[in-house]
A and B are shown apart, each in its own frame.
Chain A
C-alpha cells in the first residue's frame, strides 16, 4: 500500500535502510522519497563503510519479536530497494536538508508529512520547519527522559534498556510531541548497536506509528507535552565500552 500523504527524506544510512526495508516488509510504502546524496567515498555519520556492512560483529542473533526490524540487510543501498519496489524518488544535490534547493523540493511536494532520516548530527532549521510540512522523526532514546545524542548507551548504563520515540520535529531538539515511545531490552550483540539495533528499534517504532495512523485515520499522541528530561551529548568511548562490555545484568 502506498501512503499517499507520506513522503520521506533520507540519506543512505543504516537507519534509512532499516526504515525502507521495514516499510516494504510491512507493505506501507511512502509515496515519494527525496534522497540526500553524498558523493564522496568517505562515510558520513550514520553510514557504514563498505567493509563494515553485515560483518560478523554486526550479526543479529535476537529472536525476540521486539527486534523484528533489526533483521535488515545493512548492505543494501536504498536506491536498489526503491527501484525494486517501485517507489518514485529524486536525488537532491545536497546532503543537507536545510539547503535552500532541498527545502524548495520538499515545499513543492503534495505530501503533508515526511519521514525524516538524514545523516547523523544534522538538525532541521527554521527554514525547513516553517514550510508547512510535518517531519516525522524517530529519536533513538526514550523521551522525555533521554534527549540528545547516543542516549541508548546512557540508558543501557543507567537502566539496562534502549528506547525509541517517534516525534514530529520542532525547533527545539527532541522536544516535539511524542506520537509513540517504546523501551527495548538490551540486544544480545551490543557491538552492533550503532548501526543495527538502534536502527532496528527506531524502525519498529516507525512501523507501529504508521499502523496506528492507518488504523485511526489520523495522528495520535502518547505524550503531547514532551518537556523536561535530560539532554545528553555524544557518549565518550570509555563509557561506550563499559555499556557494551557490561556483564552485570546478563543472563
Chain B
C-alpha cells in the first residue's frame, strides 16, 4: 500500500481529508514508511540556513528532546535515534544567544489583529516564545489563528490583512510551512493536545509532497528532520498508548 496524502504536490493539489477511507494497520505502516523515505533524504533538502531559523532549530532540538525525555526515557531515545538516523546531533545551547531569542519572542506582544501581520515575523515569534520562559496566552491564540487559516484554505500567505482573515502575497513559501510545522511541534510536545498533531500531520504531508528541488534552499540544517522526527515519534507514542502496533523494523 502506498501512502496517498503526500503523493502529489499538496501546494498544487491540496487534500481536503474529508471522509478518508479506513485501510487497516497497513495504512499506518505505509505512513511511516513514506515518512522514513523523506527522513533519509532530509540532508539533500536542507541547507546551511539563515538566521534566525538556524538559531530556532538549535534551540528547538534540545527543547523537544527534553519534552520527550520527560514523557518517558524510551520516548527520548526514539527521538534521538531518529535524529541520528538523519545525521543530526543535539548540542548544548549557547547562552549568548538567549538574548537574541528573547528579543524575537517579545515581538509576539507587538502583534495585533488591528494591523497587517507578516507571517514570517509571527512564526519566528511563536517559536521563540515557546523556547523561552515567555508565558503568554497569546501563543495559543495566534497559533490557533494560523491553524484556522491553514485548515480552511490549506495555505499560508506571506501576510494577513487586519482581522487576520484575508491573506496577501505568496502562498507557496516553503520556509513558512516549515516554520509553521516547527511551531506546532513545540506546542504539541508541551500540550499533548491531539488537535495540534492532526494539523502537524497535514503540514508534514505538504512538506513531504514537495519535489526535492522545491524544498532546497528554504530549510536550515536539521530543520526538516526535527519536525519529521517529532511528528513520527509523537504518532508512535500515541499508537503505543492505544495498543496499536504498526512500527516498521
Q: Which residue of A lies closest to B17 (CB)?
A: A234
Does A51 touch B at the CB level, under 8 Å?
no
B194 touches A154 (CB 8 A): yes
B20 touches A240 (CB 8 A): yes
B22 touches A191 (CB 8 A): yes
Does A194 touch B at the CB level, under 8 Å?
yes
* Majority secondary structure of chain B interface residues (helix, strand, loop or mixed): helix
CA distance A246 to B197 in the complex (A): 17
CA distance A163 to B17 in the complex (A): 21
CA distance A85 to B17 in the complex (A): 37
Inter-chain contacts of B164 with A (CB < 8 A): none
Inter-chain contacts of A27 with B (CB < 8 A): none
A45 touches B147 (CB 8 A): no
CA distance A154 to B195 in the complex (A): 8
B239 touches A233 (CB 8 A): no
Residue among B17, B151, B235, B242 making CB contact with A245, cutoff 8 Å = B242
Inter-chain contacts of A251 with B (CB < 8 A): none
Does B95 touch A at the CB level, under 8 Å?
no
Given contacts A242-B238, A242-B239, A247-B244, contact A233 B19 (CB under 8 A): no
Contact pattern, A 219-251, Cβ under 8 Å of B = 1, otherwise 0: 000000000001111111111111011111000
9 closest residue pairs by CB, A with B: A247-B243, A233-B151, A236-B201, A237-B20, A246-B242, A236-B198, A245-B244, A248-B243, A234-B17
- The interface of chain A, by Cβ under 8 A from chain B, is 45-46, 57, 120-121, 154, 157-158, 191, 194, 230-242, 244-248
A-B contact pairs, 21 of them (CB 8 A): A45-B18, A46-B19, A157-B242, A158-B194, A232-B195, A232-B198, A233-B147, A233-B198, A234-B151, A236-B197, A236-B201, A237-B20, A237-B27, A238-B235, A241-B27, A241-B28, A242-B239, A242-B242, A244-B22, A245-B28, A246-B242
